[in-house]
Amino acid sequence: MAVRKIRIYGDPVLRKMAEPVEAIDDEIRELAADMLETMYANNGVGLAANQVGVLRRIIVVDTQSEEDDPGPKVFINPVIRNPKGAEVMEEGCLSIPDIRADVKRAKEFDFEALDLDGNRVAFHANGLLARIILHEVDHLNGRLFVDYLSPVKKMMLKDQLKKLEQKALAMQAA
């Protein structure tokens, strides 16, 4: 297992669509283990494969909250169905350090994915777990939480985001 480098806002891989996982082999198992380690090393509650530069549909989640089904979870080829309701929560992202903002998303939905053994997992998601899953599945589709911000809020964060973009470019060149 290893902590992988997290891609920062401005890195093109964060804007790409991840591809479905065809077979859960050693490479995928290693990726999932590394993603969990990377998430914990950075005190995150979720991570998508795009964020470590791999375009595969894998997310890892740990709410780290007693009321929200804590513990490490790996979801492969996740699918969100029947989103309902709306809720505003503050979000951050390991790929967008030092920026947090309120984001409105669905409150609950039906969720389906594969686990690392290839078994189908399905449940009704709500609370913090639902919020993290929505954020991470967005990553797999090249979408970031800052995309939801109002034009005013975006203007306020413009300089900070520009700096991150420059940092991402420098990291790519290094």
- Could you give the residue ranges of the DSSP H alpha helices within the chain? 26-41, 127-140, 151-173
Of the listed pieces 4-12, 34-42, 65-73, 93-101, which binds Ni ion according to CB under 5 A?
93-101
Residue 93 interacting with Ni ion (CB under 5 A): yes
CB of 119 to Ni ion, least distance (A): 26
Q: Return d(Cα 157, Cα 27) in angstroms, integer.
A: 38
DSSP annotation of 10 reads T
Minimum CB distance to Ni ion smaller for 76 or for 93? 93
Of the listed pieces 19-27, 85-93, 114-122, 157-165, which binds Ni ion according to CB under 5 A?
85-93
Of the listed pieces 21-29, 77-85, 87-95, 97-105, which binds Ni ion according to CB under 5 A?
87-95
Minimum CB distance to Ni ion smaller for 24 or for 129? 129
Residue nearest to Ni ion (CB): 93
* The pair of three-digit structure tokens given for residue 151, joined into one six-digit string: 């034009």
Q: Return d(Cα 153, Cα 165) in angstroms, integer.
A: 18
Tell me what percent of the chain is helix, strand and coil, each rounded to the nearest 5: 40, 25, 35
Q: Which residues are catalytic?
A: 136
Q: Which residues bind Ni ion (CB under 5 A)?
A: 93
